[in-house]
Chains A and B, each alone.
Chain A
Amino acid sequence: METAQPILQVDHVSKVFAPQLTPVLKGLTFKQEPGQFVAVVGPSGCGKTTLLRCIAALAQPDEGAVLHRGQQFDDPPPWLSIVFQDYTRSLFPWLSVRKNVAFGLRDLTKNDRDERVQAALCAVNLEHAADLYPWQLSGGMQQRCALARAIVVQPKLLLLDEPFASVDAQTRIDLQDMVMDICQTMSLSTLLVTHDIDEAVFMADKVVVLSARPTHVVEEIAIDLPRPRDQLATKETPEFLHLRHRVYTLVRQQAQKAAGGNVTEKV
Chain B
Amino acid sequence: MTVRRAHSIPLLWQIGIIAGLLAIWQWAALIHPAPYLPRVENIVAGYVRLWHGALLWSAIVPSMYRLGVAFLIAVLLGSTFGITLGSLRGLDPWVRPVLEYLRFIPAVAILPASLLLFGATDKMRIFVIAFGSTFPVLLAAIDGARRVEPMLIDVARVIRLTIAQRLVRVVLPAALPSIFAGIRIALSIALVMMVISELIAADDGLGFYILRNQRLFLTENVYAGVLAIGTIGLALTLALLTFEKRVLAWHHGWRGLVDPKGV
Is B159 located at the chain interface by the 8 A CB criterion? Answer: yes
Whether the pair A133, B250 counts as a contact (CB closer than 8 A) is yes
Contact A104 B157 (CB under 8 A): no
A133 touches B151 (CB 8 A): no
Nearest CB of A to B200, in Å: 42
- Structural contact, A78 and B152, CB atoms closer than 8 A: no
Q: Chain B residues near A82 (CB, 8 Å)?
A: 154, 158
Q: For the complex, give the distance between the alpha carbons of A149 and B159 in Å.
A: 10
Question: A266: CB under 8 A from chain B?
Answer: no
Interface stretch, picked from B66-74, B183-191, B252-260, is B252-260
Beta-carbon contact of A133 and B158 below 8 Å: no
How many angstroms between the C-alpha atoms of A89 and B158 in the bound complex?
Answer: 15
Which residues of the partner chain B approach A78 to less than 8 Å between Cβ atoms?
Answer: 160
Residues of B close to A136: CB separation below 8 A: 253
A84 CB contacts on chain B under 8 angstroms: 151, 154-155
Chain B, 89-124, CB within 8 A of any chain A CB:
none
Residue of A nearest to B173 (CB): A94
Q: Which of A92, A94, A149 has the most CB of B within 10 A?
A: A94
Asked if residues A58 and B154 are in contact (CB atoms below 8 Å), the reply is yes
Which residues does chain A contribute within 8 Å of B158, judged by CB atoms?
56, 58, 76, 80-82, 104
Please tell me if the beta carbons of A133 and B254 are within 8 angstroms of each other in the complex.
Answer: yes
Closest to B248 in A: A94
- B206-263 contacts to A (CB < 8 Å): 250-251, 253-254, 257-258
Asked if residues B173 and A153 are in contact (CB atoms below 8 Å), the reply is no
A75 sits at the interface (CB 8 A): yes
Q: Chain A nearest CB: distance from B37 CB in Å?
A: 52
CB-nearest residue of chain B to A136: B253
Judged by a CB distance under 8 angstroms, whether B174 is at the interface is yes
B253: A residues at CB distance < 8 A: 133, 135-136
B202 contacts A by Cβ under 8 Å: no
Q: Is the CB of A90 within 8 A of B251?
A: no
User: In the complex, A22→B157 CA distance in Å?
Assistant: 28
CB-CB contacts below 8 Å: A210-261 with B: none
A149 nearest CB across to chain B (Å): 8
**Contact: B149 with A89, CB < 8 Å?**
yes
Q: How far is the CB of B148 from the nearest CB of chain A, in Å?
A: 11
Residues in chain B near residue A86, CB distance under 8 A: 151
Which residues on the A side are within 8 Å of B250 (C-beta)?
A: 93-95, 133, 135
Minimum C-beta distance from B161 to chain A (A)? 9
Q: How far is A15 from B155 in the complex, measured between Cα atoms in Å?
A: 22
Q: Given the complex, which residues of B lie within 8 Å of A80, measured CB to CB?
A: 158
Nearest neighbor of B154 in chain A, beta-carbon distance: A58
Question: Do residues B254 and A90 form an inter-chain contact, with CB atoms below 8 A?
Answer: no
A57-84 CB mask vs B (1 if < 8 Å, else 0) is 0100000000000000001101011101
Chain A residues with CB below 8 A from B169, complex form = 103
Q: Which residue of A lies closest to B176 (CB)?
A: A94
Quick one: CB contact mask for B138-169 with A, threshold 8 Å, 1 for yes?
A: 00000000000101101101111000000001
Q: Which residues of B contact A94 (CB under 8 A)?
A: 173-174, 176, 250-251, 254
Q: Does B201 contact A (CB under 8 A)?
A: no
- Enumerate chain B residues within 8 angstroms of A89, measured Cβ to Cβ: 149, 151-152
Bound CA span A243–B57, Å: 86
A104 touches B173 (CB 8 A): no
Q: Are A92 and B152 in contact (CB under 8 A)?
A: yes
Do residues B160 and A92 form an inter-chain contact, with CB atoms below 8 A? no
Is B170 close to A, CB under 8 A? Answer: yes
* Nearest-Cβ distance from residue A232 to partner chain B, whole angstroms: 36
Task: Tell me the nearest residue of chain B to A76, going by C-beta.
Answer: B158
Question: Considering only CB atoms, which chain B residue lies closest to A103 in the complex?
Answer: B159
Bound together, the chains give a CA A103 to CA B161 distance in angstroms of: 10
Q: Which residues of A contact B152 (CB under 8 A)?
A: 89-90, 92
B residues sitting closer than 8 Å to A (CB atoms) are 149, 151-152, 154-155, 157-160, 169-170, 173-174, 176, 250-251, 253-254, 257-258
Pairs A–B under 8 Å by Cβ, sample size 5: A82-B158, A93-B254, A133-B250, A135-B257, A153-B159
